Amino acid sequence: MAHLIRHKLTNKLTNAAHTVSNKSQAKVSGVFARLGFQAATDEEGLGFAECDDLDYDYRQGMQMDVLQGEEEGGQMEGDGELEGDSHYQRDGTGPRPSSLKTAGSLEEDKPKITSWEAGWNVTNAIQGMFVLGLPYAILHGGYLGLFLIIFAAVVCCYTGKILIACLYEENEDGIKVRVRDSYVDIANACCAPRFPALGGHVVNVAQIIELVMTCILYVVVSGNLMYNSFPGFPVSQKAWSVVATAALLPCAFLKNLKAVSKFSLLCTLAHFIINILVIAYCLSRAREWAWEKVKFYIDVKKFPISIGIIVFSYTSQIFLPSLEGNMQKPSEFHCMMDWTHIAACVLKGLFALVAYLTWADATKEVITDNLPSTIRAVVNLFLVSKALLSYPLPFFAAVEVLEKSLFQDGGRALFPDCYGPGGQLKSWGLGLRVALVVFTLLMAVFVPHFALLMGLTGSLTGAGLCFLLPSLFHLKLQWRNLLWHHVFFDVSIFIIGGICAISGFIHSIEGLIEAFRYDIHD
């Protein structure tokens, strides 16, 4: 009997001791959690780590309102830092709340744009002056070229949406939070953990190629337009390209785009006026339209080049992550993408078809070259002004990518910083910018073929950034949340995009070789 009583007392004492131990452990775990450490079993630790990663990125990138409220109520001490730590410091060396407050304040002070303003930016990107090459695509594609204008609009709209979806992950509460900020971040996330920086390098290279090729195309089209505007002048197209580049040298001194942005609206208005003039002239010749020239057959050799031209005219994926992040209501992004691409599809299709019907087989690579000499010079001068004022935008973007990748990547940069302590540009940094301007000139002089270059760029980087990479990243990062039709669309876009990219690249190179071999001019 005494033994039984002793056994019961021992069990009660043991249970009480375990209870006290568990409570103490819970309190200690809570303290450690506040300090940034997680004490848990392997399975629990894995789940906590995943949630912690999302929470950490969310707090870092978005600066939660709750966190800011706690910081505003904190006490200042030492060098102006706040007491306590209200975020998870996974390595014990995370930023102090004061720095987070500063970042949050800057984020709040940064002006946001409406969905209409965002749509205007997308419209400027996908309805720029490169639509002047679309009638040439109809020349070699017929009705299938028109179908591709519609198809490319649908696909680019879809891939733009899934690219933005890759910026988000669900946190522990099932709420989608923005954990990535750019195309490069998405690429790096897909290649982690084995090659955490490989994807970013690939995207950076593709972006630089596309941006530099865009600059080259602006120089090419400027020389082409000036040469065809004043055919009586004893000045070649290459010489006009040199003159245009001389006017672009001040771009090397750009530190920001404030000065350039003032001319953005004027450029866009000028472009719409030019389109209206071209369409008005075409409508005045509606009785002469050659409907019988629009066929269902395609030129097998030239049509892949047309695919690249059409794809390149829709490229906007490079800046969509930044654009969506600066919208007042990111939930309206999908609606904005829909109406901008529908409008672009309708306007591009009508412009290409009407222009081709007017000149049929005589359609040139730059459609304004078909206009009569009486109005061609005026229209082309407007286009040259637009091209020269549009050049700084891709040039400055390319410079930023190069500087951040090679000169400003913390301690991992290959070369020393090209900016001095006061933010002034060093002489050798200025030399590199001038060299980039000269490089665009040399390419424009030695490869003065607008349509072939546009097709090559669209096939090489346009298809990659607009078709291949978004669908691949979407499958990789959102696989668990995808329905069967999403998987089907992504795989189909990847396959079709790959075929178009390879065929367009090969035929564009063949076209350039043929142009050099037989000295073919635009």
Q: Is pLDDT above 50 for 392?
A: yes
Beta bridge partners of 82: 76
Tell me the domains of the chain and their CATH numbers.
115-518 (1.20.1730)
Task: Examine the pLDDT at 487 and tell me if it is beyond 90.
Answer: yes
Residue 342 CB partners (closer than 8 Å, separation 6+)? 153
Weakest-pLDDT range from 37-46, 219-228, 241-250, 483-492: 37-46
Closest by CA position to 395, among listed 180, 186, 214, 272:
214
pLDDT per residue as tens digits for the range 401-414: 887 777 765 555 56
- Confidence category of residue 96, pLDDT binned at 50, 70, 90: very low
The whole-number average pLDDT for the span 304-328 is 87
H or E segment to which residue 76 belongs: strand 76-77
3-state per-residue secondary structure call for 286-334? HHHCCHHHCCCCCCCCCHHHHHHHHHHCCCCCCCHHHHHHCECCHHHHH
Is 212 in contact with 439 (CB distance < 8 Å)? yes
pLDDT at 203 over 70: yes
The mean pLDDT value for 179-189 works out to 91
Type of residue at 92: G
Structural contact between residues 434 and 252, judged by C-beta atoms closer than 8 angstroms: yes
* 425-446 burial code (b ≥16 CB/10 A, e <16): beeebeebbeebbeebbebbbe
Check pLDDT > 80 for residue 28.
no
Cis peptide before 193 (omega within 30 of 0): yes
Q: Does 470 have pLDDT greater than 80?
A: yes
Residues 315 and 324 sit within 8 Å (Cβ to Cβ): no
Give the sign of the dihedral formed by CA 241, CA 243, CA 249, CA 250. Answer: negative
Q: Is the pLDDT of residue 234 over 60?
A: yes
φ/ψ region of 106 (left if φ > 0, alpha if ψ in -120 to 50, else beta) reads: alpha
Would you tell me the crossing angle of helices 484-517 and 134-165 to the nearest 10 degrees?
Answer: 140
pLDDT tens by residue, 117-138: 888 888 878 877 778 889 988 8
The Cα–Cα gap between 390 and 462 comes to 19
Q: Is the pTM of this model over 0.75?
A: no
More confident residue, 75 or 111: 111
Q: Which residues contact 36 (CB under 8 A, 6 or more apart)?
A: 85, 88, 89, 90, 92, 94
pLDDT at 14: 60
The helix (run of H) or strand (run of E) holding residue 11 is: helix 2-35
Q: Cβ atoms within 10 A of the Cβ of 123, count?
A: 19
Radius of gyration of the chain (CA): 29
User: CA angle at residue 218 from 213 to 222, to 5 degrees?
Assistant: 145
pLDDT one-digit tens code per residue, 33-86 = 333 333 333 333 333 334 444 444 434 444 444 334 444 444 444 444 333 333
Arithmetic mean of pLDDT, 375-389: 84
- Is residue 445 within 8 Å of 242, Cβ to Cβ? yes
Task: Please state, in angstroms and rounded to a whole number, the distance separating the CA atoms of residues 5 and 473.
Answer: 67
The answer to whether 496 and 489 have CB atoms below 8 angstroms apart is no
Return the percentage of the chain with pLDDT > 90, whole number. Answer: 25
Check residue 36 and give its pLDDT: 36
